[in-house]
Amino acid sequence: MSDPAALPDPGFVPGRHIIDTYGNGGFRFAGMSHRGSILLLPSGVRAWVPTAPGEIDRGALRPIQAEAADIELLLVGTGLEIAAIDPALRGWLKNFGVGLDVMQTGAAARTYNILVAENRKVAAALIAVA
């Protein structure tokens, strides 16, 4: 019997990847497509549960906390409209040395691509848009 902890995470793609396209409820990156929201971390890209800005909380951002030493800025794409993020969440991230910038998902994806190309310490939490 294999060790379940040793099995690859089917919702995780290791490495930093540029977002090729977004829309139609998902994203294209690393030569593949994913339906739903994504979290782009220094360690890789993972499926992300939130589908609306109100679902973004500490639990949803725990992976950011885990990699905070390698992240200076978190871009949050809140969908088609910019939505407010709880100020307490901003403070929580600041305690780990992570800044927060909230914008529409399209703008966040484009900004992420630029910052990754500049080799900046950036992560992104992107809610999928139709």
pLDDT per position as a tens digit, 57-103: 999 999 999 999 999 999 999 999 999 999 999 999 999 999 999 99
3 CB contacts (<8 Å, ≥6 apart)?
none
Task: Look at strands 44-48 and 12-14 and give their pairing.
Answer: antiparallel
Confidence of residue 10 (pLDDT cuts 50, 70, 90): low
pTM score, whole prediction: 0.91
Does the domain made of 4-126 have the CATH classification 3.40.50.970?
Answer: no
2 CB contacts (<8 Å, ≥6 apart)?
none
31-68 pLDDT, tens digit per residue, is 999 999 999 999 999 999 999 999 999 999 999 999 99
